[in-house]
Structure 1
């Protein structure tokens, strides 16, 4: 089964169970969500609906979500860690619960015609064993007896009588259900939010070794049992105070990794043996004249990092020294460094990216559309780093020679500032040679540099304004109406990516993967001018950031907000919100002050980002 066949089979199966198929959300989270830099799981973009907001497609949805996790970048290169991965998931927003979720998971895994046709005798499952209120960190949540009961009944229907493991978590005899604690079987995406116990499904990958017996954790660590699916039963919402509140309507969130499932179906020991990596490795072999089998770690790092970078750039992120841009820069430069270790002396990221796009473009069509922008950014970043890489490595070698196993923070900062070496890259190279770096001193050097930079730019005005005159206030207000109109015409994937306003014009960057048509531009102008002609009131109030998010107030790309924010809103003549944004800049008091809005130019700004220049006449 190919990756594309797997994705489509999964979507079709749950469509037959009355789920609406929805597209993958962007890797860049909603701009008012500062909890993570990237979309880390399928549930992440759906949190508002898990908390009770109505989803436009109904109570049952299914998708394949592209994800980025950055916590394990340094571990990429082993046989299991990935930065970019795809997660198949089906969702219930207050509709079905444990019985349906478990039975459908089992059906999809084992059905030979409509599912994957896996052998049910090779399946083992875990459930949440609960946390008594008397335990040190317990929350008084009972063992999931309902999930245990459903699993027993599910196995019984195919003639398998199964038992539940004891406190020792040992598989013996007919044991198929293993209760585990909070660290293993209680799921939450971040520090707060929807959460609950889960049930995980594992598959015996080496049946030729005989009966599965032994401590469950050891069987997983030895890769005899591989997790292939996770059903999360979201019954609670964890508050900022650490309390678990029962949700009025429980939800189901499931996750099944494309890469790992593909490996299990193909009888492969690691995801790197699947079609999603084999052709990338062939290209690296061609470029380096080295063999994958002799250089697995280097090949895996390059393949993973360029794949992740390709998707990140496609979703509008550019290399920089902060936030998402820093993660992207770190990935590209680490890949370039490992390419150099393989003897690749010319720029190669673009060539690897082409293979990545070819592998995924049938499902993620935006990759082909954004291809040239992706190539341009990879080429620029690789070229920039290659110009300083050799000199930087020489400087690092001098520091290693001169130091007594400890490299000063100043030397590390100089490598960062002058030669573009991310802290983590310097740390990794030093570690390979048995040295450590002084991270505390590095942080101090970086802090001093940032304070100087802030002082130098202290004259900049809030919100991208170059002055606070009446005309710029009017243009700034127009950007709010423009964003609302763009989202109405183009869709909810549109977010502000940047803006710049002078007394003569506004410039507005927004997330969108293709050139706007003349009709779309006319529709946006009509909506903005309609709001202006209606002479709508512009008001603001100061609220907590949480309250602003609850109101779905839009935020500015990359902004870091305090606990309290200003929310500027424009209300229509029926008192409904026409525009609502978190913003600090000055605004007109009424849209009637603005004049006629006219778009002068619409063009590409970067991969996945468009730019509008407009005036008020």
Structure 2
């Protein structure tokens, strides 16, 4: 099943159950939002989860492009990407968690053809403030899906205060043996879908008060689900990465981990550029700059003549098309080339500065501040240059 087929099946399944599709996905949060990028499907919906009426009604479905910098160090493993798409559904004071889980089970087993015997669920066990999530537990037992009860792993919040509640996560078995153990004990269980029963608001003093409406927020990573349905061992082997895996090895000789990182970061950079962000020293632009510099650092490790100008136009156009972005591929490739030259000049200047006697020994915070403020050398770049 192709990634496009997964999206179509998901959206149509929930539209048949009264969900209205939200359109206009972008990495950029709504005006006034303090975060740099949209990190989940629920992010743009926060005001509606807190009670504001949504213009499309109480039942929603969407496909949201997301970016998470918290996962950068994990990019290259089987399941993590910097930019990815999140399939999501919401009940804004309409149906409850039991209904959401029942529909989710139906989509996975009937709509997508997943063997029920390869599924496992986790459910909130209860703590000192709230009791166990017996509704979710009963639902899974009725379907014959094994359940593991946890506390911290099945309580969702978006920070120390604000909306929160118990969640139930659905896992898929990826091992070569019959399913065994539990999701918290065996990483061959891969999480594919989280259903959050958003019922409370946590106050500054830690107490919980009921929200004006009981919501359900669900999300599952599209690329992760597609790779499992396609029988692949990692998200980098699903069909949306096919052009990258076909063209990059012939361009640059890289080991598997570096190939994944370079492909992920360049693909993510194209999407960020496609949403109108440009490289800069702060904010969103610095996230973009950091991705490109991490990429170049890997490419230049074995061959300093490698450059982003070698990136095939097909990869830029394919990525823009997949994410439904109307941007000029040639203009984006020019920005990549300019950013590469800027980084080359910075590296040369950095090497000259760090060769001075003052910086040959250990550096303290004052040294790092001076290097950044006077010479434009970020701390992570200084550390990288000194390690070389």
Is residue 249 of structure 1 aligned with residue 249 of structure 2? no
Distance of 1:399 and 1:263 partners within structure 2: 52
Q: Deviations over 1:296-317 (max 9, x none)?
A: 2322222222222222222222
Q: 1:229 to 1:71 in 2, by over 3 A?
A: same
Distance of 2:358 and 2:7 partners within structure 1: 49
Tell me which of 176, 179, 182 is aligned to 2:149: 179
Distance of 2:184 and 2:173 partners within structure 1: 13
Distance of 1:423 and 1:309 partners within structure 2: 22
Distance of 2:256 and 2:79 partners within structure 1: 12
Tell me which of 202, 214, 222 is aligned to 2:171: 202
Residues 164 and 201, structure 2, Cα contact 8 Å, conserved in 1: yes
Is residue 147 of structure 1 aligned with residue 146 of structure 2? no
Distance of 2:309 and 2:368 partners within structure 1: 26
The residue aligned with 1:53 is 52
Distance of 2:357 and 2:99 partners within structure 1: 61
Tell me which of 213, 222, 237 is aligned to 2:180: 213
1:533-572 map, 5 Å = none
Distance of 1:43 and 1:321 partners within structure 2: 28
Residues 385 and 419, structure 1, Cα contact 8 Å, conserved in 2: no
Q: 1:302 to 1:263 in 2, by over 3 A?
A: same
Distance of 1:218 and 1:356 partners within structure 2: 40
The residue aligned with 1:259 is 223
The residue aligned with 1:556 is none
Q: 1:282 to 1:424 in 2, by over 3 A?
A: farther
**DSSP 3-state at the match of 1:143:** coil
Q: Aligned-pair distance for 1:217?
A: 1.9
Distance of 2:158 and 2:235 partners within structure 1: 23
Distance of 1:396 and 1:284 partners within structure 2: 34
The residue aligned with 2:72 is 73
Q: Aligned-pair distance for 1:50?
A: 0.6
Residues 155 and 165, structure 2, Cα contact 8 Å, conserved in 1: yes
**DSSP 3-state at the match of 1:209:** coil
**DSSP 3-state at the match of 2:185:** helix
Q: Aligned-pair distance for 1:214?
A: 3.2
Determine which structure has more spread, i.e. the larger CA radius of gyration.
1
The residue aligned with 1:20 is 20
Is residue 365 of structure 1 aligned with residue 324 of structure 2? yes
Residues 303 and 352, structure 1, Cα contact 8 Å, conserved in 2: no
Distance of 1:116 and 1:225 partners within structure 2: 18
Using the TM superposition, name which of 274-283 and 380-389 deviates more. 274-283
1:359-438 map, 5 Å = 359=319, 361-362=321-322, 364-366=323-325, 368-393=326-351, 396=354, 402-403=360-361, 406-409=362-365, 412-413=368-369, 416=372, 421-428=377-384, 430=386
Tell me which of 241, 244, 250 is aligned to 1:280: 244
Q: What stretches of structure 1 of length at least 5 have no aligned partner? A: 133-139, 163-175, 434-617
- TM-score, with length taken from structure 1: 0.58
Q: 1:11 to 1:397 in 2, by over 3 A?
A: farther
**DSSP 3-state at the match of 2:91:** strand
The residue aligned with 1:172 is none
Is residue 189 of structure 1 aligned with residue 158 of structure 2? yes
Q: What stretches of structure 2 of length at least 5 have no aligned partner? A: none
Distance of 1:185 and 1:217 partners within structure 2: 11
Q: Aligned-pair distance for 1:340?
A: 1.3
Using the TM superposition, name which of 278-287 and 88-97 deviates more. 278-287
Q: Deviations over 1:110-138 (max 9, x none)?
A: 11xxx210000111000111112xxxxxx
The residue aligned with 2:274 is 314
By relative contact order (CA 8 Å, sep 6+), the higher-ranking structure is 2
The residue aligned with 1:83 is 82
**DSSP 3-state at the match of 2:88:** strand
Q: 1:101 to 1:345 in 2, by over 3 A?
A: same
Residues 44 and 189, structure 1, Cα contact 8 Å, conserved in 2: no
Q: Deviations over 1:236-286 (max 9, x none)?
A: 122344332211221111111011101211222221222233422333222
Distance of 1:268 and 1:396 partners within structure 2: 45
Residues 39 and 45, structure 1, Cα contact 8 Å, conserved in 2: yes
Q: Deviations over 1:139-159 (max 9, x none)?
A: x11100011112222x1xxxx
**DSSP 3-state at the match of 2:39:** coil
Residues 42 and 65, structure 1, Cα contact 8 Å, conserved in 2: yes
Q: 1:227 to 1:261 in 2, by over 3 A?
A: same
RMSD: 2.6
How many residues of Structure 1 are paired with residues of Structure 2 in the alignment?
388
Q: 1:82 to 1:374 in 2, by over 3 A?
A: same
Q: Aligned-pair distance for 1:429?
A: 5.4
Q: Aligned-pair distance for 1:199?
A: 0.5
Tell me which of 211, 226, 235 is aligned to 1:271: 235
Q: 1:356 to 1:391 in 2, by over 3 A?
A: same
Residues 72 and 81, structure 1, Cα contact 8 Å, conserved in 2: yes
Distance of 2:240 and 2:37 partners within structure 1: 22
Distance of 1:400 and 1:116 partners within structure 2: 62
**DSSP 3-state at the match of 2:246:** helix
Q: Deviations over 1:326-360 (max 9, x none)?
A: 21211111112212124262531672675154045
